[in-house]
Copies of this chain bind each other. A is one copy, B any other.
Amino acid sequence: MTGERRSYRRESEESRREALVLAALDLLAEGGPAVATVRAIADRAGVTPGLIRHYFAGKDDLTRAAYRYFMERMTAESVAAMAAGPDDPRARLSRFVTSSLRPPVMEPLRLSLWTGFLQLLHSDPEMRAIHRQTYHGYRDVLEALIVALARPGTDAARCRADAIACNGVIDGLWLEGAALPEDFSGDLIEQIGLRAVGAILGADLPEPEKDHP
């Protein structure tokens, strides 16, 4: 009668894991940890809750996988924007900065998602390790771009410090722009970020090419 077992298709481990991770990210962004329950995640991914424990050791394990996925995607997006365009060092750095300070990278949903993860840092050492890895990954890209500027009279230590400072500007502005999007019109945050990074590095950064003329 009503007791029909739902039909399903067997799929690869890879696609199932990704579907579950994406579903977890969706729910975490929309409603935070309170909403991202095992049942809700499975439902969003089109499976039943039990399957999560078949691919992940537990909910914490899934959360960690989602965090790594999220952070690597953020960096990859900025890297892609940086790589897409003229090879001039200053133009590349300029694209890297501005792409981090506008949608889809700078977005309220990403902020709440990010804060949700950040909260798990101090209680979960493994999460902190993931954070360190991905943070260093982003900063290393930034540092390489700064080194490529070939500014005279700047050694490696200075470039490292400058990368930390620029990373701070970008993070902070990203935070503010995503927390209060209605407070900053148009590309205000991008321009402020560009000028601040330029001031810190003592280099004049060009405004990036507009997609829409």
Contacts and interface: CB of A to CB of B under 8 A. Distances in A.
Interface stretch (A3-11, A14-22, A76-84, A165-173): A165-173
A32 B173 contact: no
A189 B168 CA distance: 10
Contact of A115 (B119, B135, B171): B119
B180 A168 contact: no
Contacts of A121: 108, 111-112, 179
A49 interface: no
A120 B193 contact: no
A115, A121, A135 interface centre (most CB from chain B within 10 Å): A115
Interface stretch (A39-47, A64-72, A195-203): A195-203
Interface in A124-158: 128, 131-132, 135
Contacts of A51: none
A108 B124 CA distance: 13
Given A170-B172, A192-B168, A122 B135 contact: no
- Chain A, interface size category, equals 35 or more
- Copies of this protein in the assembly total 2
A167 to B, nearest CB: 7
Contacts of A26: none
A116 interface: yes
Contact of A122 (B109, B131, B161, B184): B109
A165 B101 CA distance: 12
A31, A175, A188, A196 interface centre (most CB from chain B within 10 Å): A196
A1 interface: no
Interface string A199-213: 110100000000000
26 contacts: A31-B123, A32-B119, A109-B122, A111-B118, A111-B121, A115-B116, A128-B180, A131-B179, A131-B180, A132-B180, A132-B183, A135-B179, A161-B188, A161-B195, A164-B189, A165-B192, A168-B170, A168-B172, A168-B193, A170-B172, A171-B171, A171-B172, A172-B173, A195-B200, A199-B200, A199-B202
